[in-house]
Amino acid sequence: MTTTHPEPTARPDPHGPAESSPSVSTAPTVPKLPKLEDPRTTPTLTGTVHRTRSTRVLGLAGAVGLLVLTVAVSLALGNRDIPLDVVFAALTDRVDGNTLHNIIWDQRLPRTLVGLLVGAALGVAGTLMQGITRNPLADPGLLGVNAGASLFVVLAITVLGITSPSGYIWFAFAGAAAAAALVYAIGAIGREGATPVKLALAGTALTYGITSIVTLILISSTEATNAFRFWQVGSLASRGAGTWGLSWLLLVLLGVGLGLALLSGRSLNLLAMGDDLARGLGANLTLARGIAAVSIVLLAGTATSLAGPIVFVGLVVPHIIRPLIGGDYRWILGYSLFVGPVLLLAADVVGRLVARPGELEAGLVVAAVGAPVMIAIVRRVKLAGL
């Protein structure tokens, strides 16, 4: 396992000449994680930094623009397409009784808002997870989060008789948080820490075990089956109706999660260099991992409680961003905040358009697109132990 994370010095500097990393030739056979360039080598070349910095700012502006565009499309398209000027009029000057305005306010706006929040939470949580585990396959959904939420939701339906999606929220949150903590704890035991395979298998094991229990509960209750199967496919729509009554506490938790995540950028950069070097540079690894873990639990928990189980968004987002802007986690996290919602809202819009007059849930669209991406990543990246 010593070859898992090559020393940063053994990695060619992506921005500069070879002499800035003199030991390149000493370990030519060490497998490299191409995505984890060391951002701290750039300050030696101020010109490069300037250019990169302006490119990154420009890119971020582009991401924000893309998000605005996606939001507009999400408000405009659907079972019934609404022209953009009507959308604008509805937002600025709502006329009571106008059908189109009502569609915008009662359906499109809530689900777009849910998509924004959930997409940002999943994108940032995925980036954080890949950062602290140094694992390009980490994703909140792969780690048993959804299974934990499912179990608690089923129990809420059967034991407490709650059948409205807005009523599940806190159960989904608690289940997701508990499962994430358990899987991470089991995966992190051992000298080499949380490796891709260990986390994926611990998540899978928990998922299968919980699925057995959930099935047992479901086959004894038709009502629970009916309520649960619609929750089980992640969606922005059915949850939308409850959005205006959205709990402030949930928003606060989401905000705290995002805040902690954005503060973690620097420590993720240190962690990317390997534990020993990070410690040598004065990082408090336990504290850094702890803050990131709390943030992941908050983000994944709120996302799952708002939209149900959605896999792959967290997995894919960092992989889209890294080739564009490099490996500095402070920037990747900032970009995730916008790229995540773009992906999720785009999936939601596609789901609305492909199956008119019905619609395909966003969770299904994301999984259909995400699985090939995951396979491509596994084929391309030399993972630990692959």
List interacting residues with another protein (CB under 8 A): 137, 141-142, 186-187, 189-192, 195-198, 200-202, 204-206, 208-213, 215-216, 218-220, 222, 225-226, 229-230, 232-233, 311-312, 360-361, 363-364, 367-368, 370-371, 374-375, 378-379, 383, 385-386
CB of 20 to another protein, least distance (A): 33
User: CA–CA separation, 108 vs 103, rounded Å?
Assistant: 6
CB of 23 to another protein, least distance (A): 27
Beta carbons of 382 and 32 less than 8 angstroms apart: yes
| Residue 59, amino acid | G
Nearer Cβ to another protein (277/362): 362
Tokens 């998000």, residue located: 67
CB of 159 to another protein, least distance (A): 16
Nearer Cβ to another protein (195/304): 195
User: CA–CA separation, 249 vs 212, rounded Å?
Assistant: 32
Nearer Cβ to another protein (20/204): 204
CB of 99 to another protein, least distance (A): 28
Nearer Cβ to another protein (312/329): 312
Beta carbons of 352 and 111 less than 8 angstroms apart: no
CB of 114 to another protein, least distance (A): 18
Nearer Cβ to another protein (29/46): 29
**Closest by CA position to 233, among listed 171, 141, 350, 98:** 141
Instruction: Give the CA distances from residue 385 to residues 135, 199, 203, 230, 243, in Å, rounded to whole numbers and listed in that order.
Output: 12, 13, 18, 38, 44
CB of 196 to another protein, least distance (A): 7
